Each structure stands twice: as structure tokens, then as C-alpha cells.
Amino acid sequence: MPTNKNQHYVPQHYLRQFRIGDTKQISVARIDPFEFFPTAGIKGQCQEDYFYKTDGELDRIYTTCERDLAPVISRVADKRGFDSQELTALQLFAIIMHVRTKRAIEEAKTFPRKMFFEVTQAAIARGELPPPPADWSEKTIDFGGVAGELFKNVAGGWLEARSLACKLLESPSEEFFITSDHPVILMNQMFEHTLPHRSFVGFSRSGFQMLLPVSPSLCLIFFDQRVYKVGDRKRRLVPISQEDTELINSLQIQSAETCVFSHDPTRRDVISNLVKKYGRLRKAVGSTLREVSNGDEDRRVLHHFQFSPELPRPWSFCRLRRRPRIGEDNRRDPEWTAYVKRVVEDMDANQGRSLFESMDAVDAWLLSQAQD
């Protein structure tokens, strides 16, 4: 059992980046129905008692990650830049933040919940199971262990992120970034409309993008530099416009499970306007699962794809290259992806070997590729 009862699925150290002054308070806006709380304690946000159930090991892993990564996030925000070691930490932080939230876990339940429901319904129809209770539905089905399964994706996602470029987007002085209870944004402008029938958002895909606000004035963007240009090639800090800041905030409105957070208790109108303008683009948990007919009335295909918010209109800081380089099978770097797969398989086969120990082999491979 975890020794820590009060478990946060968005860590407190991250929310403190958006705190009000030097307090332990943050502004909270519930989206639907809209309700604004100028001040609320950070400790009470994005947490549940024993959220990770009986998985004490996972809770300890996240506690260790928070201890090691919190100083890096704070330091990067303060100095408005990062070195190569800090970049590695930022990549890990973003991947962990992507898989640990309540929305991420609920999205991951969508496909197995649907399968369990359909199989059970078929067995009931055949008389192999007794009739269900009157309130029986997919929503009554629940199971644990999902958070641990999602954490298994961290290794592969982190290694794939190493082939992405990274910049810090800086909002104008009078504007600010908000964050949410599901703050990591996954996108792919390149294939969003050309591959709508496939999972176009994937860590190994050409054109992949990932955004994460790290303070009211800074937002990380990881991107495929073979497909996009972001700011000056030689500068890691990219000032953006008021319009582009609003577009990034619109993604948080869409991505949030229930709440968004900000550092200024006097900006209720700003948050309210964002919700009014972009709340219509929000998609419910489970909307990533769809049924596709294959022409046979007795057979259906279930397609589960990665959630991605919609960019309401083009932004100016991230532009497609005139001649983007797309890898084989639309992969950013097929050879690197194959190597990542081998590393992850090796970790699975050698349970005592950690990702950090595997990084030595990864770095050696990268060095050999650079020399070639």
C-alpha cells in the first residue's frame, strides 16, 4: 500500500509555477458549468485519496521524479532557458505529465471498457450470463492498474522525444499562459487533416508536436524540426504574439478534464472569455473511440486514437517548412524508433535494469550515429 494517502495526479510543484505571488494559492476556473474561484489552495487541486489505489511502487516512483524534476522546472522558468541536461529532464517531465493525469487514465480505459461491455452483452444475449442490473451500462464498468500500465509508456515516449527540437515560447508582458488538470498538449498539424482515419498523433510520427506551459509567461514546445520552423534557429526563447498566446490557451481549455488554473485572481473575464470562445471545441472523455463499419452488418471495427485538441486557426510562430522531410511510413526517424523498441524490450526482459541505466546504451548509439 502507498504510504502517501493524498496523491496528486498533477504535482503540486508544477502548480506552484502558476501560484499567486509568493502564496500557496492559485486561481481556479471550473469549465462546465463555468465557475471562477479567485483563490484556492494548491494542495487541494488535482488530487484524490489513494488515487493510484494499491500501487505503492508507482506512487514512490512519481514522488522520486517530482523531487528530482521540480528544481529543474523552477530553474528553467527563472532563467528562461535550458542546457542539454535540463532538456533531457524537461523531456522526461513532459512525458510523465502526459500519462499520469486523471483524464489520461480515463481515456486509456475507454477501449477495454467498451470491449468488456460488448463481450458481456453478447454473453447475456446468448443466455450464458444472467440479466444485468437495470442501471448496467459501460459507465458502470471500472478497473484498476491503468496508471501503472500507462507508466510503462514513459520509457519509449521519453526516448522518442529525444529526436524532437525544443523551444520556450514567451508570452507578451501583458498576456499569460494558463494551465489545466491535463496540461500536456499533443498535436500534429502536418497530418491532422490528411490522416484523420489513423492515429496521426504519436510520439514517433513525422510532424509531432507537444506543448506544456511551465509558467504564466513560458510554454515549452517540442516539435519535429524536419517539418516545422519555430522562431530563430539559434535562439531557444521565442517571443510570441497576443493572438498566439490565446491559441495556446485555447488548447488548455479543450484538453482540461474539469479545471484550468492561472496566477492572477483579477483576470476572471479573460478566463471566462476563453471558455466562451473555445469551450465548444471540447470533446468528452471517450470521444477518441469510434466504430467503423467494414460492410458486414454483423461485424464492426473499433478504432481508438490519441486525443488531440483542435487548433482553431493557424498560429504564426510555428510554420511548415517548404519542403518538409517525412520518414518512411510517416515516421520521423524509423531507424531511431526501431532502436527505441529494442531498448524498451530489453528493459522488459531485464526487470532489474532501469531506464537510466539504459540511457548509457542510448547515448552510445547516438554518438555512433553522429560519427557515421
Cα dist from 103 to 10, 108, 307, whole Å: 11, 9, 10
- The 10s digit of each residue's pLDDT in 79-99 is 999 999 999 999 999 999 999
Cα dist from 330 to 80, 94, 204, 230, 339, whole Å: 33, 23, 9, 21, 17
SS3 state of residue 331: strand
209-215: strand order across its sheet: 185-187, 209-215, 218-223, 165-170, 237-239
| Residue pointed to by grid coordinates 498533477 | 10
* Percent of the chain residues topping a pLDDT of 90: 55
- The 10s digit of each residue's pLDDT in 192-227 is 766 554 555 788 999 999 999 999 999 999 999 999
pTM for the predicted model, two decimal places: 0.88
Per-residue pLDDT of the chain (372 residues; tens, 9 = 90+): 556 778 899 999 999 999 999 999 999 999 999 999 999 999 999 998 888 866 578 888 888 889 999 999 999 999 999 999 999 999 999 999 999 999 999 998 888 888 888 888 889 888 999 988 888 888 888 888 888 888 888 989 999 999 999 999 999 999 999 999 999 999 998 887 665 545 557 889 999 999 999 999 999 999 999 999 999 888 999 999 999 999 999 999 999 999 999 999 999 999 999 999 999 999 988 776 777 666 666 666 766 667 788 899 999 999 999 999 998 888 898 888 888 888 888 777 776 555 555 556 555 655 565 555
Task: Return the DSSP state at 322.
Answer: S
The grid cell for 114 is: 467498451
- pLDDT value of position 118: 83
